[in-house]
Structure 1
Amino acid sequence: MKAPRLGIAFVPTHSPESLRALATGAEAAGLDDLWVWEDCFKQSGLTSAAAALAWTDRLRVGLGLMPAPLRSTAITAMEVATLGRAFPGRFVPGVGHGVQDWMEQAGVRAASPLTLLREHTVALRALLAGEEVTTSGRYVNLDRVRLDWPPVERVPLWLGGVGPRSVALAGELGDGLILANAYTPTEVRAIADAASSAARDAGRTGLDVQATVIAATGRDAQERVDREVPLWGREAGIGIGAAGDARAVADAVLAMAHAGATAVAIQPTADEPDLAGFVRFLGREVRPLVVAG
């Protein structure tokens, strides 16, 4: 098994002004990735990604996820292309159909979220490839749209979702699948297998899978993880997250890799008392164990 990419997740329980130190600290610590979120109505994922890319030189920055109902396909293509050209090889955008309650609040809820996501993804990929796109769909309508500045280097487009149809769509159309942050390795294995099966049925291979591990270290690590997991809709004590020393966290990462994840992001708890120190711990102590397997 190839060692997964190891990154850190910047979730919106942490303030926007803490992003710069987290991004530069992650790069200095030798982590592979930084994953930013776009949860309603907290922080802009694209703005966070752009800032993190500008503050670093090597770090790959992933964005999970941009809700398709909130962003027009043409604007999304323009923004992704700009970052793809400015920071070639370092930006991984992700799109999804959004949390439907939030989409309702924003006044953009679609009657068929999966139809919207399919139309959005197909058109977005064509635009990023430099094609002129004319399409008249149920939700996406474009008339001779072509980007003046498409990416020079191909930008991977990842999809996210929870339900079986969303996962299958990610396998069919996406370069990767972005999972939610509160899954056990067993659940990740089932989802990754389903997405990979859909990819094979579509004649595609090499699907990446990103998983997240909620983690804490120190004397009260388990208590902090147990407080964090219910904030994301799951029960504590069912095998979600990792608490303890570097070996415990590395083993949780490797369990996700064995379940099919090619990239694993560590999510610090909202009450992490030393975010900078936690990033150094991941880079200096956890990463070598993950690489060694």
Structure 2
Amino acid sequence: MTTLGAIYLPQHPPEELRDVARAADRAGLDELWLWEDCFLNGGVSASAAALAFTERLRVGIGIMPVPFRNVAATAMEVATLSRMFGDRVLPGIGHGVQEWMAQVGARAASPLTLLREHATALRALLHGEEVTVSGRYVQLDAVRLDWPPPSPPALYVAAGGPKTLALAGQVGDATVLAGGTSPAEVAAARDLIAAPGPHELVVFVPALPGDSAHRLIAWQEKYKHSFTGLSGSPTEIAEGVASFAAAGATKVILQPLPEDDPAEYCRWVAEEVRPLVG
């Protein structure tokens, strides 16, 4: 069965998250994903709050930019969330937007090398291993978590380009594709990931109810994406979701626009679209 979720955009102030997360939980939404866009909401703090506000909702961090963080700090944060909230925690990491990384003096000369080193060390730490490594970006000397999670969480890796997609298949348990990715691009990404075992493929999909194509076209033109998004009745949205599932996506996370009511959007996804998705 395809997992169907929704995104809480960081363009909304943090204090609104409590009501949105609770509305999503009450409506039975599968997953709520949070973005850590600069310089808006913090991904870890927002996800911790959303998890604490709810009982069953799974919460994804999509994503934590690795140039921002020492890998030991990332591991400590993820392990803490995992011990408190179990498999409801869905941690995601990625390159981050390079212009934003440059703004804070953290842009890596080789983002791919940094992501490989960070993901490899993070997985080992979350599995309770002692890690010593002297890489180009990651240096650890006999580091081991005192409180590793009893069951390490799946690690989600954001990817877009061919090299990062291949890396995600090597170092992650799941890959996250950005909004504006078409079903054909999902299928191509699945081939590039080429993971040796089970591997979740998450895609963010702009989707709006009713006659909203003009709003999505404006969004597409602004961000120069190849795919406009989905709009229409719940049945039409569900058919669009099915096209992504057929292309290989295991999780389709629907994305509103900043002017949409986030609580109502989560309710619409959970109560009107979810029952129509296989």
- TM category (shorter chain) comes to over 0.9
Q: Is the 8 A contact 1:213 1:240 kept in 2?
A: no
The answer for the alignment partner of 1:228 in structure 2 is 219
For the residue of structure 1 that corresponds to 2:28, the secondary structure is coil
Question: Which residue identity is paired with 1:268?
Answer: P
For the residue of structure 2 that corresponds to 1:215, the secondary structure is strand
Quote how far apart the aligned CAs of 1:83 are: 0.1
The answer for the alignment partner of 2:234 in structure 1 is 246
Question: Which residue identity is paired with 2:152?
Answer: R
CA shift digits 1:50-71 (9 cap, x unpaired): 1111111111111111111100
User: Which of 212, 232, 245 is 2:204 aligned to?
Assistant: 212
Give the TM-score normalised by the residue count of structure 1.
Answer: 0.91
> Which runs of no fewer than 5 residues in structure 1 stay unpaired?
none
Give the TM-score normalised by the residue count of structure 2.
Answer: 0.96
Q: Distance in 1 between matches of 2:122 and 2:79?
A: 10
Identity fraction in percent = 51
Q: Distance in 1 between matches of 2:222 and 2:26?
A: 30
CA shift digits 1:99-132 (9 cap, x unpaired): 2111111101111111111111111111111111
Quote how far apart the aligned CAs of 1:45 are: 0.8
Q: Distance in 1 between matches of 2:220 and 2:259?
A: 12
The answer for the alignment partner of 2:113 in structure 1 is 115
RMSD of equivalent CA atoms:
1.4
The answer for the alignment partner of 2:89 in structure 1 is 91
The answer for the alignment partner of 1:9 in structure 2 is 7
Q: Distance in 1 between matches of 2:246 and 2:161?
A: 22
Q: Is the 8 A contact 1:214 1:225 kept in 2?
A: yes
* The 10-residue stretch of structure 1 (223-232 or 138-147) with the greater mean CA deviation from structure 2: 223-232
For the residue of structure 1 that corresponds to 2:205, the secondary structure is strand
> Which runs of no fewer than 5 residues in structure 2 stay unpaired?
none
CA shift digits 1:15-63 (9 cap, x unpaired): 3222222211111111110111111122211111111111111111111
Q: Distance in 1 between matches of 2:61 and 2:223?
A: 18
Q: Distance in 2 between matches of 1:28 and 1:179?
A: 27
For the residue of structure 1 that corresponds to 2:86, the secondary structure is coil
Does the alignment pair 1:277 with 2:268?
A: no
Q: Distance in 1 between matches of 2:170 and 2:142?
A: 26
Question: Which residue identity is paired with 2:262?
Answer: L
Q: Is the 8 A contact 2:63 2:94 kept in 1?
A: yes
Number of residues paired by the alignment?
A: 278
Q: Distance in 1 between matches of 2:220 and 2:258?
A: 10
The answer for the alignment partner of 1:65 in structure 2 is 63
CA shift digits 1:181-215 (9 cap, x unpaired): 111111111112211x2x2xxxx211100011111
The answer for the alignment partner of 2:101 in structure 1 is 103
Quote how far apart the aligned CAs of 1:164 are: 0.6
The answer for the alignment partner of 1:264 in structure 2 is 252
